[in-house]
Amino acid sequence: MGWEVLQKWGPEAARVEPLTGGVANEVWSVRVNGHAAVGRLGARSDADLAWETGLLQHLDRAGLTVPVPIPTTDGRLFADGLVVMTWVEGGPPEAEGDWRRVADVLRQLHRSTQGWPQRPGWRSSTDLLHAETGTKIDLGAMPPEAVVRCRAAWARLSGRRTCVVHGDPNNPGNVRVTADRVALIDWDESHVDVPDLDMVLPHNAAGLDPDALDIAAQASAAWEAAVCWDDEYSLERLAQVRAV
């Protein structure tokens, strides 16, 4: 089933125009109950969508500004791969002060999700010290030397607490800033991992000391190399992971 499933949000629900930024999904602005919203249609499993929509509800209750799932007319948070969420106003962060506010929101995310269960089918970076696969990652597809480098970077995170990470917060397109709040959108890459992966921000806005920044930056580059393997971007990120 395709976009016709949008009718489960009411007979007047309709697509408006496609939005940029979707890779694994089709993302459109939609109108539901007379209000602007965002619809995302993809092939994620029901278990995966239940994890994500439950997370967004939790974060909304915890006081973070996130896209909140809008239920269907019969009360479901998703249907046949479609999730409809509230529209989040704002523009991308620009100044260093904006990014410091992003870091504060990320810390709030990490505090409020300690002990959260892993997203179905995903692995954390430290899980991959022993596992070969997890959702988009297949270490068996990478050259052995690249795997050694990535695992050496992730090993430096061993023993640290885990929580939900956004997964791509340094992309300005995933942040919406207004005068009074910062919102995080596009939770496609969110999963349970070590929070350091979220804190490699422009201007070192999280205020990490040189050693902590090096650990986080190396682990983040290794993660993105593995997730995106093997396109041009993944090769660029792998080049930033030090040889062992």
Domain parsing of the chain, residue ranges: 3-86, 96-239
209 upstream amide cis, omega within 30 of 0 = no
pLDDT at 45 over 70: yes
The tokens 């509230």 sit on which residue?
Answer: 86
Q: Categorize the per-residue pLDDT at 22 as very low, low, confident or very high, splitting at 50, 70 and 90.
A: low
As a whole-number percent, the residues of the chain with pLDDT over 90 amount to 95
- Positive/negative CA dihedral, 56, 61, 66, 67: positive
Please state which architecture CATH assigns to domain 96-239: Alpha-Beta Complex (3.90)
pLDDT (tens digit, 9 = 90+) per residue, 105-123?
A: 999 999 999 999 999 999 9
pLDDT (tens digit, 9 = 90+) per residue, 221-241?
A: 999 999 999 999 999 999 999
Q: Categorize the per-residue pLDDT at 5 as very low, low, confident or very high, splitting at 50, 70 and 90.
A: very high
The tokens 């810390």 sit on which residue?
Answer: 107
pLDDT (tens digit, 9 = 90+) per residue, 167-213?
A: 999 999 999 999 999 999 999 999 999 999 999 999 999 999 999 99
**Quick one: tokens of 75?**
């009360």
**Average pLDDT over all residues of the chain:** 96
Q: Averaged over 21-34, what is the pLDDT? A: 85
Q: Which residues contact 43 (CB under 8 A, 6 or more apart)?
A: 24, 81
Q: Which residues pair with 17 in a beta bridge?
A: 29
pTM for the complete prediction?
Answer: 0.94
- Give me the pLDDT at residue 21, please: 59
pLDDT (tens digit, 9 = 90+) per residue, 132-164?
A: 999 889 999 999 999 999 999 999 999 999 999
Q: Averaged over 67-83, what is the pLDDT? A: 97
Q: Categorize the per-residue pLDDT at 127 as very low, low, confident or very high, splitting at 50, 70 and 90.
A: very high
Tell me the H-state helices in the chain. 46-61, 96-112, 144-155, 210-228, 232-239
Burial (0-12, 13-18, 19+ Cβ within 10 Å), 152: middle
- For domain 3-86, the CATH superfamily is Phosphorylase Kinase; domain 1 (3.30.200.20)
Fold match, 3-86 / 96-239: no
Name residue 124's amino acid: S
